[in-house]
Structure 1
Amino acid sequence: METSRNPRRRTLLALTAVTATLSLATTACGGDAAGEAKSADGKAKVTVLRSNGAIFEPLYIAEQQGYFKDAGLDVTIKAGAQDTSQNAPSVLNGEAQFAMTDSSGFLKSAAQDMPLRIVTGLQSATTKTAPTDGLLVKKSSSIESFSDLEGKTVGISALGGTIQFICEYLVQKDGGDPKKVKFVALPTTSLTDAATSGKTDAIFSFGPFYAAAKESGLRTIGNGMNDLPGMVQGVLFSSQKYLASNGDTAKKFIDAVAKAITYANAHPTAVKAIDKKYTQVPAAYIDKHDTNYYDKNLDTTVMRTVITKMHEFDLLDKEPKDSAIYWDQAPTSGGE
């Protein structure tokens, strides 16, 4: 179990190690991590690393509906790191061309000037649907609001990312002090047990795991990330080097994902079938609950709020500029 109130030092050390590893990998590969491989039938070969928890469903829908194939792509989908911000090395050294992470996880890399760019969104917080993530406690817990988390321990899937950020943001918004909250990193599948057993005072879960946690008897507080509408929750990113050399392929890839997002929002049964196959949540829970609402759009105004607050909470070493975050063909908007 990894614990931290302030993961900044650990993040800086990890990114320093990543940089050294990438230097060695680039040298070993002759300095070219952006070349485009082709399948036997001439399709561009692409590997994408997904998350282990949720929001990856459009990738499999694009595969199942033939959107990748129709775009001339031979796509391999693989499970990435538990902490998706750690997928960056695989993208930078060419082991994968695209990877998923949460927006805050990406911003940690951008703040270190790593040559990565977001190519598309996958999901953003919205008031259009009921929350699919949020804070949960035992019914008998004395915690009634986010400010009550002061002095308490909260279990989350990874330190320093979007989930830790939204917890700290909502604690501050509720009048509490985020610095007085302790966060512990646990496997997503273990979060519910951590709360019910008293290992943690609260957890912040998401997707089908959130639904299952509620069904198990845990009590929700607030509306999760929907309390900051427009906050980007899941993204796909690539390396600048790959995008510079393979922009046409990258555009075909994100267009296929966009089609899959539209399909996913219109066909929840297809999403649930994927969740049954690739998550450990019981099928009965999946059948009884609504699916995620997917969104390719990247609200740069809300993202700037996230950046400013992450820096204030000491989750970012500095505030990266927009030019260090988005690919120039990514579906961005300035917000309302």
Structure 2
Amino acid sequence: MKILKNAATLLAVTACVAGISSHAAAQETKLTLGMSGWTGFAPLTLADKSGIFKKNGLDVELKMIPQKDRHLALAAGAIQCAATTVETHVAWNANGVPIVQIFQMDKSYGADGLAVRNDVKGFADLKGKSIGVSAPGTAPYFGLAWMLNKNGMTLKDVKTVSLEPQPAAQAFVSGQNDAAMTYEPYLSMVRSNPQAGKILATTLDYPMVMDTVGCAPPWLKANPKAAQALANSYFEALEMIKADPVKSNEIMGAAVKQGGEQFAKSAAYLRWQDKAANQKFFAGELTQFMKESVPILLEAGVIRKAPQDLAVTFDASFIN
């Protein structure tokens, strides 16, 4: 009996150690994700700072990389996943840097916009004017191209000055350039300085900024559980925002040097997308938008040829 008892004890201890080991192994799934300080990406910061990633067995490094360089980091293997706009995923795939979208993060509802001087009445007045905007292959550049296209113009009708969203807004407010294409939290600089100019149009007028998280196909194939944990962590972060908005806004705002209340004001101009919204988006809207983005990406010179198969650019299995 004693031998059996000892054997049972040994088995129990072994099982316990195995459990600890498997838990530790799960936490060793490392992942580097490229992103920016865009307000819509903030739930990823929340998942990181609040321990949601760790709880779900992920060791995530959130790396701030300008959107124009994120695909280079992906191609080099410096990052495994990236948060960026839908049309950017299309462009990367078309330009030989494959990435697969696995969940949607946000939709802009006025969080991206074109700031202009107060004497500008409409888009036609921008002909020949200088506009501070990020480099080709970025959301602001595409946003500007999209808005101009919808008003019978192209990027050839204006002079673009290459500036990232924050310096573009800062330069505009300080009197440089005739216009600026930027996004929150930097667009609020313009909202707070009406003497510098006004906002001619935002994504309320032109709904074309929507962000997704995508991962490199080889990493995704080798780490489906980690990819699922990444998606789950995002949805859990949204639940935390609902349950404790004050604390959540403080954590998310700190990452972009904003107080909680200030961050909440920026976030009011976008909508984070929960699982139900994701399922609806991936069911048809995503493909439709990608199709619409291709001719504008071609016209803007961001891609040289249309991607052959848009279906390979996303996988809806992680949002079911």
Q: Relative to 1, partners in 2 of residues 1:53 and 1:122: Cα closer, same or farther, differing over 3 Å?
A: same
| 1:135 correspondence with 2:118 | no
Q: TM-score, normalised by structure 2?
A: 0.77
* Residue 183 of structure 2, aligned match among 206, 214, 234: 206
* Residue 162 of structure 1, aligned match among 123, 135, 139: 139
Q: Deviations over 1:13-67 (max 9, x none)?
A: xxxxxxxxxxxxxxxxxxxxxxxxx999221222222214432211122224433
CA distance in 2, matches of 1:265, 1:213: 29
Which AA in structure 1 matches 2:72? P
* Residue 272 of structure 1, aligned match among 244, 249, 253: 249
**Counterpart of 1:28?**
none
Greater helix proportion: 2
* Residue 49 of structure 1, aligned match among 34, 39, 44: 34
The residue correspondences of 1:232-251 to structure 2 (distance < 5 A) are 232-251=209-228
Q: Relative to 1, partners in 2 of residues 1:303 and 1:309: Cα closer, same or farther, differing over 3 Å?
A: same
Cα pair 2:108 2:210 within 8 Å, conserved: yes
* Residue 293 of structure 2, aligned match among 306, 312, 325: 306
RMSD over aligned Cα atoms: 2.9
**Counterpart of 1:111?**
94
* Residue 99 of structure 1, aligned match among 82, 92, 112: 82
**Counterpart of 1:294?**
272
| 1:182 correspondence with 2:159 | yes
Structure 2 unpaired stretches of 5+: 1-20
**Counterpart of 2:47?**
62
**Counterpart of 1:325?**
313
State the secondary structure of the residue aligned to 2:185: helix
CA distance in 2, matches of 1:235, 1:55: 10
Q: Deviations over 1:134-159 (max 9, x none)?
A: 111233xx312223221111112333
Structure 1 unpaired stretches of 5+: 1-37
Aligned-residue sequence identity (percent) comes to 24
CA distance in 2, matches of 1:63, 1:169: 33
CA distance in 1, matches of 2:140, 2:170: 18
Q: Relative to 1, partners in 2 of residues 1:160 and 1:88: Cα closer, same or farther, differing over 3 Å?
A: closer
CA distance in 2, matches of 1:89, 1:331: 27
Larger radius of gyration: 2
Q: Deviations over 1:208-247 (max 9, x none)?
A: 1111221022443344123333x34322221111111111
* Residue 206 of structure 2, aligned match among 218, 223, 228: 228
Which AA in structure 2 matches 1:74? D
- Aligned-pair CA distance for 1:194: 1.6
